[in-house]
Amino acid sequence: MDPKKVIVFALHNELESVYPPLNISIGAAATGADVLLAFSRSGVNILDHHYIPIPSRGKEYLANAIHDFKASSIGDLLSIAVNLGVRFVVPDSDDPDSKIVSELPFEKVPLKWLLNEAATANLFVHF
């Protein structure tokens, strides 16, 4: 039986938007699915190990809640995803001079390619 294909698209970089795509990607990869985690122009800075996500206005309590809950750090979740074989992709941006800062492996892909992959996926979600 072919493995399931899961595409997760991280569209935003606020604290409440960072955890869901990482958790779903890790969960899907842990079940044996082929997982692509794509990052939009706003979400791509999640790949920067110096990035600290800030909650959206009105959701400041989340930072303390995540700390009190002892949730894994974004960096830890990214490492787990890499170890489980999640592929990180970044659709080409309109800005050819855009530079992505990351020590993690990622591929730049055409947006059309990503959309074609999403059309054939068993699951496509975005946050």
Q: What is the mean pLDDT of the chain?
A: 89
Note the pTM of the prediction, 2 decimals.
0.88
Q: What is the pLDDT of residues 17-72, one digit of tens each?
A: 999 999 999 999 999 999 999 999 888 888 887 888 888 888 888 888 888 888 88
β-pairing, 5-10 vs 87-91, is unpaired
Say whether 18 sits in a helix, a strand or coil: helix
Are 10 and 78 contacting, i.e. CB atoms less than 8 angstroms apart? no
Say whether 72 sits in a helix, a strand or coil: coil
Are 101 and 47 contacting, i.e. CB atoms less than 8 angstroms apart? yes
Are 39 and 47 contacting, i.e. CB atoms less than 8 angstroms apart? yes
Residue 54 tokens, joined: 């800030």
Confidence of residue 97 (pLDDT cuts 50, 70, 90): low
Confidence of residue 98 (pLDDT cuts 50, 70, 90): low
Give the chain's domains with CATH numbers: 5-126 (3.40.1260.10)
